[in-house]
Structure 1
Amino acid sequence: MLFLLSPAKALDYDTPLPADLPHTQPLFVPEATALIEVLRQQTPAQIASLMKLSDALASLNVARYQAWRPRFGPRQARQAVLAFNGDVYEGLQARTLTASQLDWLQQHLCILSGLYGVLRPLDGMRPYRLEMGTALATERGRNLYQFWGPRIADHLNQRLAGQPAPIVVNLASQEYFKAVDRWVLQARVIDCVFEVRQGGAFKVVGVHAKRARGLMMRYAAQHRIASPQRLQGFDLEGYAFAPAASTPDRLVFRRSA
């Protein structure tokens, strides 16, 4: 069973980390290199327009593209699960997981990425900005979905090969999960939905749902979840499984506030 998460816009390359923390090389370095070469041809003004960034952020990312290298050590990069710093990763709190739990994450979590395709949690990552929904034209097409094509789904199939009932638990956003070609993917997909009560009704609230995705990933690592049934025990920060609102492939979790 594999879990999918989206990356985060916010990055943290400042918080000190243990010197002996392992890191691995990303799997799609040739593809990332090809995208960087395209991005290096863009001016700050073009990047600002393409990604809807301020002039300052556009200039920062142009500098990042110029500094990017296909191979790097721990001094030039940071483990992906520790570099991302948005709501999802505040829920996951990977820095507080044990070495054994981080190793479990490495085997079971795939972080989808516009630049890297798929990142394992301990893959070394240089700072970058390239969202999956960016309409960046390349030789493979007019956007990143066409650039990645079936590659991400093929990778997931390889990771799941040999499992009697391959399952992907989708904790990613629609923008990122769209990069997984469902016609190619040979696995059952289970979506997790997180709702909170507001105004007398349960609904998905973006900021809470993002944090809950990270909490679910933390719960899975702590309990080494290996079946959809065990996901139903998720109870962090007041969430509880809502069987009446769920289906076998859409698990709904709710909390009162």
Structure 2
Amino acid sequence: MIAVISPAKSLDYERAPPPCTPTRPRFSEEAETLAKACSRLSRKRLAELIKISPALAKLNADRYRGFADAPERPALFAFAGDVYVGLDAYSLDEEAVAYAQDHLRMLSGLYGLLRPLDAIRPYRLEMGTRWAPGDRSGRDRLTDWWGDRIARALGEELGAEGSGVILNLASEEYWAAVDKFVPAGAGVIAVDFREGPDARFVSFHAKKARGMMARWVVEHRIQDPAALPGFDADGYRHDAQASTPDRLRFVRA
């Protein structure tokens, strides 16, 4: 089973990652192509596209213009958003990180598909951005540019891993890059996290819970999907009545 999560808008390039050997992203050339295209956008246009403040637009414009010389670090230790608070990568032991390298994947607007130890440079580019290099119509999205490449790569990795099952812990925005092109024969299991007796959806808690479940999978070396209802971190419990075989619900009272 391969678990798939989203990246994060927040980055952490200050804290030193633990000793590890970085790997090269599968789509590093595509990332460079996208970074060059982004470097030609004005700050104003960049701010409009990814809906950020002028200060963040300047930061990211500078990042893209100096992309080739920017520092790299493993993706697992580069992202710092809510999902990664739940994942808490810095407290994983070496064996768990090694398992994650084979069984955890991150979707990325810039890098497409990442393994945890793939070395990445700082960036900000959401998968749902209404922009694509070379698009003159103004109607394309970044997902149009990626097409089926990400899903095909994920399919190849599923074949190598052997289970044929994807645990979808990604947001809808990022899963859209895979959804239409899910490899034939692959099983997809989505997870729905809810809060309280009325089973409310709370985005912040759901993001953190996705990270916690990704951690649980790699710590316990979960390979059989039948074991997934056993997830119980931070008070979450499987709601069998509200679940289906391809969509599991967990509720925290």
What TM-score do the two structures reach when normalised by structure 1? Answer: 0.92
Match of 1:9 in 2: 9
Supply the AA of the counterpart residue of 2:128: G
Indicate conservation of the 8 Å contact 1:152/1:181, yes or no: no
Three-state SS of the structure 2 residue aligned to 1:170 is strand
Q: Does 1:177 align with 2:172?
A: no
Q: Distance in 2 between matches of 1:158 and 1:50?
A: 32
Q: Distance in 2 between matches of 1:164 and 1:216?
A: 21
Three-state SS of the structure 2 residue aligned to 1:254 is strand
Residue 43 of structure 1 and its aligned partner are, at CA, apart by: 1.0
Distance 1:162 1:92, change over 3 A: closer
> What is the CA deviation profile of residues 7-37 of structure 1, one whole-angstrom value per residue up to 9, with x for unaligned ones?
000111111333x322111110111111112
Match of 1:145 in 2: 143
Structural RMSD (CA): 1.6
Supply the AA of the counterpart residue of 1:169: L
Distance 1:50 1:152, change over 3 A: same
Give the alignment partner of residue 155 of structure 1, picking from 153, 156, 165. 153
More displaced stretch, 181-190 vs 56-65: 181-190
> What is the CA deviation profile of residues 96-149 of structure 1, one whole-angstrom value per residue up to 9, with x for unaligned ones?
000110011010111000000011111111110000011123237822111110
Q: Does 1:25 align with 2:19?
A: no
Give the alignment partner of residue 127 of structure 1, picking from 113, 122, 129. 122
Unaligned residue ranges in structure 1 (runs of 5+):
none
Give identity over the alignment, percent.
45
> What is the CA deviation profile of residues 32-60 of structure 1, one whole-angstrom value per residue up to 9, with x for unaligned ones?
11111211111111111221211110010
What TM-score do the two structures reach when normalised by structure 2? Answer: 0.94
Q: Distance in 1 between matches of 2:168 and 2:13?
A: 27
> What is the CA deviation profile of residues 147-195 of structure 1, one whole-angstrom value per residue up to 9, with x for unaligned ones?
1100011001101116665111000000000000434422111001111
Match of 1:188 in 2: 187
More displaced stretch, 30-39 vs 163-172: 163-172
Unaligned residue ranges in structure 2 (runs of 5+):
none
Indicate conservation of the 8 Å contact 1:189/1:249, yes or no: yes
Q: How many matched pairs?
A: 249
Match of 2:222 in 1: 225
